[in-house]
Chain A
């Protein structure tokens, strides 16, 4: 049973033929499209390493069937930087040392991008921690992650206010 699915991934159109309906969006990205920035941790929706932005909202790609995503717009960690210019969240993660081994980092960053887009966190560390609770970090870099998200959000809001390009 072949199903073809049209997807836009990081601004590039892909026509994908699926020979098996069980393929998750995560496996499609990693195994068939070579976009291995998105990580497979638990593969059961618990760790958040596979977080991507699907149609403008952060989701766990491991629990999403690719066959169900016809017409979707997808943003992964590979699509975040503009050339050599890092996204504000990426830059803030480096500045605040918000990782150690780095395995959870793409998921953390995509989740933070989603959180900032949702606009619910305010400038409140408690809300940021709550908003990032779907992403586990086994190295325990949470303090740096919280600071990075807070700073990236402040910078992005400031840029929006002053009309500077992101």
Chain B
């Protein structure tokens, strides 16, 4: 780990001012940053510790039914907040399916959104990576590509975004509140992330010094409370990143779907909102055939970036499963193995 200056920021204004300086990075939970620094993959010259910023550790339920989550709320505290888990079950489930309990206790919600890809070539300082060193090349292409992107990738980068939390956030139109040198602004999380294109080193729309202060879920998101799930296919039952994942939500009136939401994780460098799939379910019955049709639309533009063609069919099947489980009323029910595929019959009985 390189040497750096450490500074404890007393308030947002000071943090933003310090964060502007060249080589400065914000430190919150540190679960990703310190790991990257130990690997010499990120070499900040200044750490601006934002852990004591006043007022950023609160979950505020808004009068209209939405929620404002302070940037420093820890992943486990949000997931285990009873009202939050009831109103936004897919988000709580996604949080609990990520990392380990120790990491979730330390990691903040804003840090979760800001975490870097786990592409093994990004994580290996000896490999060429356009994210770490623009123009260096991408060794992931033609390399071990099983877990790499199938949507939105470019010749310069085929990595995926690792966050589980961000997937339902994008499905349910979360907004990121940003403070910075030019003042405050709100950005939809879907637009917050950048696809790699020719500049994979640029990952988000944040400018130097800009700091996430909160994440908001709109009131509309809570309307899906009884029919919202996050499902995640992974190589181990627990403590593994997604091969593919899906956040799904349905609003059902009578026997008809009046609104559907779908976002995919593990498929691109950002959570992938599948609007064509959502649109095709409007006014339809919540049945397997309908979901299968939606799954084809969701992966319509997918193409393998290497030896990962299997992920396309896997993602389609996951979409069907996620909607099938979402169609069941899942009010106040959390799986013992969050986001895992368990036997559907058992799930109905639980």
Interface residues of A (CB under 8 A from B): 1, 3, 20-22, 24, 43-45, 48, 51, 57-60, 63-65, 67-68, 70, 111, 114-115, 118, 120, 124, 126-127, 129-131, 133-135
Interface residues of B (CB under 8 A from A): 1, 3-6, 8, 27, 30-31, 34-35, 38-39, 47, 49, 51, 76, 80, 99-103, 105-106, 237-239, 336-338
11 contacts between A and B (CB under 8 A): A21-B6, A22-B4, A43-B38, A45-B35, A63-B35, A64-B30, A65-B30, A68-B49, A134-B100, A134-B102, A134-B239
- Report the bound CA distance from A21 to B49 in whole Å: 11
B30 touches A22 (CB 8 A): no
Partner of A51, one of B3, B4, B102, B238: B102
- Report the bound CA distance from A64 to B105 in whole Å: 12
Q: How far is the CB of B97 from chain A (nearest CB, A)?
A: 10
Contacts of B239 in A (CB 8 A): 133-134
B103 touches A134 (CB 8 A): yes
Contacts of B76 in A (CB 8 A): 57, 118
B105 touches A129 (CB 8 A): no
A63 touches B100 (CB 8 A): no
- Report the bound CA distance from A31 to B319 in whole Å: 50
Besides the known contacts A64-B106, A133-B100, 11 further A-B residue pairs in the complex with CB atoms under 8 A apart: A22-B4, A45-B34, A57-B76, A58-B102, A59-B102, A63-B34, A65-B27, A68-B8, A111-B101, A118-B101, A133-B238
- Report the bound CA distance from A67 to B6 in whole Å: 8
Contacts of A20 in B (CB 8 A): 3
- Report the bound CA distance from A64 to B51 in whole Å: 12
The chain A residue with its CB closest to the CB of B7 is A21
The chain B residue with its CB closest to the CB of A3 is B6
6 nearest A-B residue pairs (beta carbon) = A134-B100, A133-B238, A21-B6, A57-B105, A133-B239, A134-B102
Known interface pairs A130-B238, A134-B103. Does A45 touch B337 (Cβ–Cβ under 8 Å)?
Answer: no
- Report the bound CA distance from A134 to B99 in whole Å: 8
The chain B residue with its CB closest to the CB of A43 is B38
Contacts of A21 in B (CB 8 A): 4-6, 47
Partner of B101, one of A22, A58, A70: A58
- Report the bound CA distance from A124 to B102 in whole Å: 20
B337 touches A48 (CB 8 A): no
Q: How far is the CB of B340 from chain A (nearest CB, A)?
A: 9
B102 touches A68 (CB 8 A): no
- Report the bound CA distance from A67 to B1 in whole Å: 15
> Of residues B6, B100, B337, which shows the largest number of chain A Cβ atoms within 10 Å of its Cβ?
B100
Known interface pairs A64-B106, A68-B49. Does A134 touch B6 (Cβ–Cβ under 8 Å)?
Answer: no
B238 touches A63 (CB 8 A): no
Q: How far is the CB of A103 from chain B (nearest CB, A)?
A: 17
Q: How far is the CB of A95 from chain B (nearest CB, A)?
A: 24
The chain B residue with its CB closest to the CB of A58 is B102
Q: How far is the CB of B337 from chain A (nearest CB, A)?
A: 6
- Report the bound CA distance from A45 to B36 in whole Å: 11
Contacts of B8 in A (CB 8 A): 68, 70
Known interface pairs A60-B106, A134-B239. Does A45 touch B31 (Cβ–Cβ under 8 Å)?
Answer: yes
Q: How far is the CB of B7 from chain A (nearest CB, A)?
A: 9
Q: How far is the CB of A140 from chain B (nearest CB, A)?
A: 15
Q: How far is the CB of B104 from chain A (nearest CB, A)?
A: 9
Contacts of A115 in B (CB 8 A): 101
